[in-house]
Chains A and B, each alone.
Chain A
């Protein structure tokens, strides 16, 4: 009767384990994988310099993180949600319905988005219009709307290198894709005058066609992460990838970055607003958990302190563009000022 014995011992184990109902000591964070590296650097330094345990930081995307965040209050819900986009109205409503009413929004800085190609390849000096013309499904050729005919970069603009068009752009799940479409493709569409042509030909909503990307294999969606993009560039040297600034800065020996409208991306040019493509990064904090989860407020304050999130702190060293208005953010955390 081995199975009976096994069942009894299994029962014993369940019984032994079910007895443990202890209070959670560590801070629980979930959310965006873009914020994850910064969050881990801050968490590591936080636990090194305080007596609190290291916060546990999950990754799983802004959406899943906020969904967990809005699940309710109490020990078995997360305290902080990292997000690479602001929380949406409908999500706040779900939060409220589940009793998560007081949410503190903390903007930790900006994530720069850069275009980089293999280090052996030629230099690229892009304009948003180049990107639009290279990747949009429909472009304007000689005043006529046509399916994208370009196959090489120098067909778009003779100054660009003679290299086949192949771009690895973030998949439609990534927040980066949204920024890429809005700040590069749509801007380029505007700049090149194509958006006017669309509006003229198709009416009000015509300009929506601006951000529809071509599907003939020259624009490749990457649903994975930047390491996948890098691997693809290494296996296909013609490729140009969309990366986060921090990823590029850690791989400058393999990648060469392109400029946008003559500006080279760096933490300085992004902070000053010269380099156009960036997005803010946030974390959201449950006010109700301050005081009940040990070290929660201390962690938030530590995270946004000048020594950590400031321009010379470890986060900026890793590639975070420090928030020029960090002092204001620090005040928000200190005051526990919630969103409206």
Chain B
């Protein structure tokens, strides 16, 4: 029975559990739902959860575990003629698995029969041509009859495991159904039980964020440690030169990259925050509903344009324009790529992050606050500046933080707009680059993957992680301090 069907059956049983439990309590209460502890739907939900949760959890766990268990088992039981000398056992097990798949396919297409499979090793000579004729590819290792035997065995275990799983899962589902039926009493505190379950599910979901963080740190920390074994940490954190070399003797100081990151992000925010905020204010406070419902998604398109388009725009249009109109006349250099170019173009990309989120937040400020302010005689702009914005501040800060986060993580626009040269300079018309760009380029480069030049990407990633962490803590503190809670 395919897993899809098992899941479907479980879900059908869950629906049955829902209906049955609901009907039963109503009947026990004599049709008067006031005599129940909870509203009757909660009994239904409780019944459904009892059916579905254990069954589906066991199903998932079983499916994850079964291949591993079978692989282990088969590896231990393989005859020596299959375990070839000097061949990695993992490859042999893989061959067995492929043989098993081919045999199953043969069975499905009617080329083989169940009796053929029972002792595949003995009938190897007749099986092979039949499979080949049907266009089913056997791994070359299956020229060994014992391999076919092992494949048959593997398949047998798979099938046995699968039926055992089906049995257990359906049994659990039916058990849940029975239990649900039994527990459907008017005095059962069904709502509390269901809510406890929902809360557990919510907590599980929130913990994914923590797990992600742990995963990120874990996936970078070993390589970073390896990097710091090869390269002095003082040089990394306090070095002011970034110049990786192929032949060794690289200087890998983070400071110029950090400076570039902050500089470019700052310019991007200076562009995006005012434009985004004013756009949001206009949309939510001045524009008619029709205009707003058109303008808002239009601006959101900006967030969806692939960054490579912005990058090309920066490279071909904005870069030369800034160079010819500003940098050269002002005597600030003649670089086609500059911090300013990348910052401006990235700012445009970030507008919707600020505008759309802020618009939602501003829109959610209670109308009574506006009415109050307007009633006291303030103009609309005064209302916005003195009342609405302070009330919406925490959300707006969140939006700006999100925009800043995107700015820090962006690569394409920086590579094409600001170049790849690491430099510490105040001149906004100089080429500079960011940490993220260097993470990507060192990871996707041609250097030896065990060398400091590649491993530095992990150290950079981890450092950036810590830096943004600190910035976020500060932001949280600031928001807490200045938050205005109305009502």
> Which residues of A are in contact with B by a Cβ distance under 8 Å?
1, 3-4, 7-8, 11-12, 14-16, 18-19, 21-23, 32-33, 60-64, 66-67, 70, 72-75, 83-85, 88, 90-91, 94, 99, 171-175, 177-178, 181, 208, 211-212, 215, 217, 220-224, 228, 231-232, 234-236, 288-289, 291-292, 294
Is B320 part of the contact surface with A, judged by Cβ < 8 Å? yes
Minimum distance in angstroms from A130 CB to a CB of chain B: 22
Q: How far is the CA of A213 from the CA of B64 in the complex (A)?
A: 54
Give 9 A-B pairs besides A15-B3, A178-B446 with Cβ atoms closer than 8 angstroms. A7-B201, A61-B443, A64-B449, A74-B91, A88-B448, A217-B334, A223-B420, A291-B140, A292-B95
Name the residue of chain A whose CB is nearest to the CB of B88.
A73
A-side contacts of B245, CB under 8 Å: 172, 211
A-side contacts of B419, CB under 8 Å: 220-221
Q: Is the CB of B90 within 8 A of A63?
A: no
Interface mask (B3-23 → A, CB under 8 Å = 1, otherwise 0): 110110001001000000000
Q: Is the CB of B11 within 8 A of A8?
A: yes
- With most chain B CB atoms within 10 A of its CB, the pick from A85, A212, A231 is A231
Is B336 part of the contact surface with A, judged by Cβ < 8 Å? yes
Is B243 part of the contact surface with A, judged by Cβ < 8 Å? yes
Q: List 28 A-B contacts (CB under 8 A).
A: A8-B52, A15-B7, A15-B56, A18-B64, A19-B2, A19-B4, A23-B101, A61-B446, A62-B446, A63-B446, A63-B449, A63-B454, A88-B450, A91-B448, A94-B449, A172-B244, A173-B244, A173-B441, A174-B446, A175-B445, A221-B419, A223-B437, A236-B336, A288-B87, A291-B141, A292-B139, A294-B137, A294-B139
Q: Is the CB of B244 within 8 A of A75?
A: no
Q: Is the CB of B444 within 8 A of A63?
A: yes
Q: How far is the CA of A236 from the CA of B87 in the complex (A)?
A: 57
Interface mask (B293-312 → A, CB under 8 Å = 1, otherwise 0): 00000000000000000001
Is B442 part of the contact surface with A, judged by Cβ < 8 Å? yes
Is B236 part of the contact surface with A, judged by Cβ < 8 Å? no
Cross-chain contact of A224 among B56, B87, B415 (Cβ < 8 A)? B415
Q: How far is the CA of A277 from the CA of B186 in the complex (A)?
A: 86
Using a CB-CB cutoff of 8 Å, which residues 62-118 of chain B contact chain A? Answer: 63-64, 67, 87-88, 90-91, 94-95, 97-98, 101
Minimum distance in angstroms from A212 CB to a CB of chain B: 8
Q: Is the CB of A67 within 8 A of B449?
A: yes
Minimum distance in angstroms from A296 CB to a CB of chain B: 11
Q: Is the CB of B415 within 8 A of A177?
A: no
Q: How far is the CA of A1 from the CA of B130 in the complex (A)?
A: 54
Task: In the A-B complex, list the 3 residue pairs whose CB atoms are closest, starting with the nearest.
Answer: A173-B445, A175-B446, A223-B420
A-side contacts of B428, CB under 8 Å: none
Q: Is the CB of A173 within 8 A of B3?
A: no
Interface mask (B432-470 → A, CB under 8 Å = 1, otherwise 0): 010001000111111111110110000000000000000
Is B249 part of the contact surface with A, judged by Cβ < 8 Å? yes
Q: How far is the CA of A224 from the CA of B421 in the complex (A)?
A: 12
B-side contacts of A215, CB under 8 Å: 421, 423
Cross-chain contact of B198 among A4, A67, A172, A232 (Cβ < 8 A)? A4
- With most chain A CB atoms within 10 A of its CB, the pick from B56, B90, B97, B420 is B420
- With most chain A CB atoms within 10 A of its CB, the pick from B60, B320, B415, B449 is B449
Q: Is the CB of A235 within 8 A of B336?
A: yes
Q: What number of A-B contacts does a CB cutoff of 8 Å give?
A: 172
B-side contacts of A4, CB under 8 Å: 45, 198, 201
Name the residue of chain B whose CB is nearest to the CB of A181.
B246
Q: Is the CB of B420 within 8 A of A222?
A: yes
B-side contacts of A91, CB under 8 Å: 448-450
Minimum distance in angstroms from B41 CB to a CB of chain A: 9
Q: Is the CB of B91 within 8 A of A173?
A: no
Q: How far is the CA of A90 from the CA of B453 in the complex (A)?
A: 14
Q: Is the CB of B11 within 8 A of A18?
A: no
Q: Is the CB of B59 within 8 A of A15?
A: yes
Q: Is the CB of B449 within 8 A of A12?
A: no
Using a CB-CB cutoff of 8 Å, which residues 274-301 of chain B contact chain A? Answer: none
> Which residues of B are in contact with A by a Cβ distance under 8 Å?
2-4, 6-7, 11, 14, 45, 52, 56, 59-60, 63-64, 67, 87-88, 90-91, 94-95, 97-98, 101, 137, 139-141, 198, 201, 243-247, 249, 312, 315-316, 319-320, 333-337, 415-416, 419-421, 423, 430-431, 433, 437, 441-451, 453-454
With contacts A173-B444, A221-B421, A223-B441 taken as known, whether A66 is within 8 angstroms of B449 at the C-beta atoms is yes
The binding surface of chain B is classed by DSSP as helix
Name the residue of chain B whose CB is nearest to the CB of A75.
B94
A-side contacts of B63, CB under 8 Å: 15, 18-19
Q: Is the CB of A63 within 8 A of B336?
A: no
Q: Is the CB of A232 within 8 A of B97?
A: no
Name the residue of chain A whose CB is nearest to the CB of B197.
A4
B-side contacts of A7, CB under 8 Å: 201
B-side contacts of A23, CB under 8 Å: 97-98, 101
Cross-chain contact of B3 among A19, A84, A174 (Cβ < 8 A)? A19
Q: How far is the CA of A288 from the CA of B431 in the complex (A)?
A: 47
A-side contacts of B56, CB under 8 Å: 11-12, 15
Q: How far is the CA of A73 from the CA of B265 in the complex (A)?
A: 43
With contacts A67-B449, A173-B447, A217-B333 taken as known, whether A292 is within 8 angstroms of B249 at the C-beta atoms is no
- With most chain B CB atoms within 10 A of its CB, the pick from A63, A231, A292, A294 is A63
Name the residue of chain B whose CB is nearest to the CB of A84.
B446
Q: Is the CB of B4 within 8 A of A217?
A: no
Q: How far is the CA of A178 from the CA of B247 in the complex (A)?
A: 8
Q: Is the CB of B249 within 8 A of A208?
A: yes
Q: Is the CB of B3 within 8 A of A16?
A: yes
Q: Is the CB of A232 within 8 A of B315?
A: yes
Q: How far is the CA of A22 from the CA of B246 in the complex (A)?
A: 41
B-side contacts of A18, CB under 8 Å: 3, 60, 63-64
Q: How far is the CA of A178 from the CA of B420 in the complex (A)?
A: 17
B-side contacts of A289, CB under 8 Å: 91
Q: How far is the CA of A294 from the CA of B99 in the complex (A)?
A: 13
Q: How far is the CA of A251 from the CA of B444 in the complex (A)?
A: 25
Q: How far is the CA of A90 from the CA of B340 in the complex (A)?
A: 42
B-side contacts of A177, CB under 8 Å: 246
A-side contacts of B433, CB under 8 Å: 223
Q: How far is the CA of A223 from the CA of B11 in the complex (A)?
A: 52
Minimum distance in angstroms from A100 CB to a CB of chain B: 9
Q: Is the CB of A60 within 8 A of B444?
A: yes
